[in-house]
């Protein structure tokens, strides 16, 4: 009961302060570890456990002349022919990780979401705080981009055909933010806002790769739009519970292959 009590008492428990300082000192010592100069690549592959449902087709009921021409499918769960699960998000949860010199510049590179063929491309995008995110529209009809961030101010801009607008985020988001178009309600995408470049979205074959992560102990977090933070998976044949999708690993220099991670079909039944 420190601050809550202290709100009235206006005093802070000294003991806790000291405890905090000790921790801080420990952290500094730890960060000074010699392994900081080593960098590793984390990779793996998400596989669907069970028979994958076929993605339902969507029917465009607005701007039918344009959107009706495209084959639109429900993209919430995309499983490839070989069982790979696409659009699974993996990121390094630790906030103060050291960023590899080669990756520093990625923060100023543009991240792009295109309104193309009456859907968002890509469906899931990692974007860093401070990184310019360009929302553009390659379609011949107008769209709007409604970003439902929780920590950052939400926004909703009109994007005419051929137009674009740029937004940047100042804080990271604990949960990926949904991007929708109110004019075409079937259009949905997700933005994963992180403070550093250490994250990836699995490709169509279920593989992902996060390069140049500083060697040492880190915590990964795994999310999928249907499954939420993935609570369990079978990794290298062994069932594992990972509360809130958090998995601690030790990164070594070079390749760190997590292998095949099977996500059970039940996780996606939401």
Partner 1 sequence: MKSQSQIVSRTLVRLHSSWAVAACGVTLLMCVSGCGSTPAAWFRPNMVEATKQRLTPDQERQVSTVMLAMFGTPDAPVAPPETGLDEAKLQLAAGPVHSDIVGRKNGLYREHCAHCHGVTGDGLGPTAAFLNPYPRDYRPGVFKFKSTERSDKPTHEDLVRILHNGIPGTSMPSFALLSPPKVEALVEYVKYLSIRGETEIALMRAFFELDDEAQGKLPETREFLVDEVLTPVTEKWKSAADALIAVPEMASDLDLAASIAKGKELFYGDKANCVKCHGPTALGDGQANDYDDWNKAIVEVSKEVKSGLERAGETSTSGMDSEALAEHRGQLAWLDKFGRVLDGGDALRPRTIQPRNLRHGIYRGGRRPLDLYYRIHAGINGAPMPAAKGTVPPEEIWHIVNYVKSLPYELDGELGADRPMVAKDRF
Give least dist CB 154 to partner 1, A.
Answer: 6
Q: Measured from the CB of residue 6, what is the shortest distance to ligand HEC in angstroms?
A: 33
Q: Does 157 bind partner 1 (CB under 8 A)?
A: yes
Dihedral, CA of residue 191, residue 193, residue 198 and residue 202, to nearest 10: -10
Give the chain's largest Cα–Cα span: 69
Smallest distance, Å, CB 120 to ligand HEC? 16
Token code pair at residue 171: 């804080």
Out of 183, 235, 249, 265, name the contact with ligand HEC by CB under 6 A: 183
Q: Which residue is nearest to ligand HEC (CB)?
A: 182
Q: What is the DSSP letter of 215?
A: S
State how far the alpha carbon of 171 is from the alpha carbons of 16, 151, 164, in Å: 28, 6, 23
> CB of residue 156 vs ligand HEC: minimum separation in angstroms?
8
User: Can you tell me the distance from the alpha carbon of 213 to that of 40, in angstroms, rounded to the nearest whole number?
Assistant: 5
Interacting positions 24-43 with partner 1 (CB under 8 A): none
CB of 160 to partner 1, least distance (A): 4
Work out whether 141 is an interface residue with ligand HEC (CB under 6 A): no
The helix (run of H) or strand (run of E) holding residue 200 is strand 199-201
For partner 1, the binding residue among 52, 60, 62, 212 (CB under 8 A) is 62
Site for ligand HEC in 195-214 (CB under 6 A): none
- Count the site residues for ligand HEC by CB under 6 A: 3
- Binding flag, residue 182, ligand HEC (CB under 6 A): yes
- Asked if 161 interacts with ligand HEC (CB under 6 A), we say no
What does DSSP assign to residue 103?
Answer: G
Q: Is the separation of the CB atoms in 120 and 137 below 8 Å?
A: no
Cα–Cα distance between 226 and 240 in angstroms, integer? Answer: 19
Q: Does 138 participate in binding partner 1 (rule CB under 8 A)?
A: no
Q: How far is CA 223 from CA 46, 176, 192, 270, in A?
A: 11, 9, 10, 14
- Residues in touch with partner 1 (CB under 8 A): 1-12, 16, 62-63, 141-142, 144-146, 148, 150-151, 153-161, 163, 165, 174-175, 182-183, 185, 243-244, 246, 269-270
């Amino acid at each position: 009961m420190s601050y809550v009590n202290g709100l009235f008492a206006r005093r802070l428990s000294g003991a806790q302060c000291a405890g905090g300082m000790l921790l801080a000192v420990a952290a500094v010592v730890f960060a000074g570890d010699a392994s900081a100069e080593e960098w590793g690549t984390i990779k793996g592959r998400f596989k669907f456990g069970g028979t994958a449902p076929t993605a339902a087709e969507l029917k465009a009921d607005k701007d039918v002349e344009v959107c009706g021409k495209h084959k639109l499918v429900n993209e919430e769960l995309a499983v490839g022919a070989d069982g790979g699960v696409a659009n699974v998000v993996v990121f390094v949860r630790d906030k103060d990780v050291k960023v590899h010199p080669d990756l520093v510049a990625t923060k100023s590179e543009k991240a792009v979401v295109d309104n193309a063929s009456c859907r968002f491309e890509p469906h899931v995008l990692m974007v860093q705080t401070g990184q310019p995110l360009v929302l553009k529209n390659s379609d011949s009809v107008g769209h709007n981009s409604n970003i439902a961030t929780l920590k950052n101010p939400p926004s909703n801009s009109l994007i005419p055909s051929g137009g674009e607008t740029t937004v940047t985020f100042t804080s990271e988001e604990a949960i990926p933010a949904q991007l929708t178009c109110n004019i075409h309600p079937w259009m949905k995408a997700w933005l994963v806002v992180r403070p550093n470049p250490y994250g990836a979205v699995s490709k169509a074959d279920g593989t992902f790769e996060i390069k140049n992560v500083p060697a040492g102990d880190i915590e990964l977090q795994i999310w999928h739009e249907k499954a939420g933070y993935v609570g369990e998976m079978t990794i290298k044949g062994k069932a594992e519970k990972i509360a809130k999708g958090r998995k601690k690993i030790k990164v070594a220099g070079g390749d760190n292959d997590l292998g095949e991670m099977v996500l059970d079909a039940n996780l996606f039944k939401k």
